[in-house]
Amino acid sequence: MTHMFEGVGVALATPFTNNEIDFDALERHVKFLLENNTQAIIVNGTTAESPTLTDQEKEQVLETVIKLVDKRVPIIAGTGTNNTQKSIEASKRAKEIGADAVMLITPYYNKTNQRGLIKHFETIANEVKLPVVLYNVPSRTNMTIEAETVETLSHNPYIVALKDATNDFDYMEEVKKRINEDEFALYSGNDDNVVEFLSLIHI
């Protein structure tokens, strides 16, 4: 299996004017990204402040972006929450709208263990049957997906990538040792160290 994309995937912000989503600004932003060779677009992720958007707003944004992109690059929808069933429902809805993949953040607040993480992610992936990008950002969730857990999850046919925002290169070295990089992609979630990250994963 080849990776969903190689190169730059951009996490969209959600533009607002007077407490309403500014769809004109969103359209301009998406067109700019497409004109400048963005290889994937992530919708309703952390950068979009998705926890503060209503379900209706998230669907409207996703529908708008999918229509604008028109299959030119993959659309990855942020659908993860700390509620497994809610994440399944959001992911299925994203699939219905036309997302190419979903991104699942590590469950926050309801701290679980690594076995719980595996159950959470695999339950969603197996229900939705769409490519899944795991999102490891412990600075926001107060929990990390351990390297051994990433290895276990990488064997699920639907779980195809890890977006890493740990800023921990020893961790990434360990993850890299444990996965098949031809089948499981590693993406940087930190703009400030992307060059160092790329030098690590391409060794």
Q: What confidence score (pLDDT) does residue 57 get?
A: 96
Q: What confidence score (pLDDT) does residue 1 get?
A: 47
Q: What does the alpha-carbon distance between residue 182 and residue 184 come to, in Å, rounded to a whole number?
A: 6
Per-residue pLDDT of the chain (203 residues; tens, 9 = 90+): 468 888 889 999 999 999 999 999 999 999 999 999 999 999 999 889 888 999 999 999 999 999 999 999 999 999 999 999 999 999 999 999 999 999 999 998 888 999 999 999 999 999 999 999 999 999 888 899 999 999 999 999 999 999 998 888 899 899 999 999 999 999 887 666 665 655 566 55
CATH number of 103-203: 3.20.20.70
pTM for this one? 0.92
Here the tokens at position 124 are 């969603």
Start and end residues for every CATH 3.20.20.70 domain found in the chain:
103-203
Q: What does the alpha-carbon distance between residue 39 and residue 33 come to, in Å, rounded to a whole number?
A: 9
Q: What does the alpha-carbon distance between residue 72 and residue 22 come to, in Å, rounded to a whole number?
A: 23
Read off the DSSP letter of residue 107: P
Task: Spell out a b/e string for 172-183, using b for 16 or more CB atoms within 10 Å of the CB, else e.
Answer: beebbeebeeee
Q: What confidence score (pLDDT) does residue 167 get?
A: 85
Q: What confidence score (pLDDT) does residue 168 get?
A: 86
Active-site residue numbers?
135, 163
Q: What confidence score (pLDDT) does residue 28 get?
A: 97
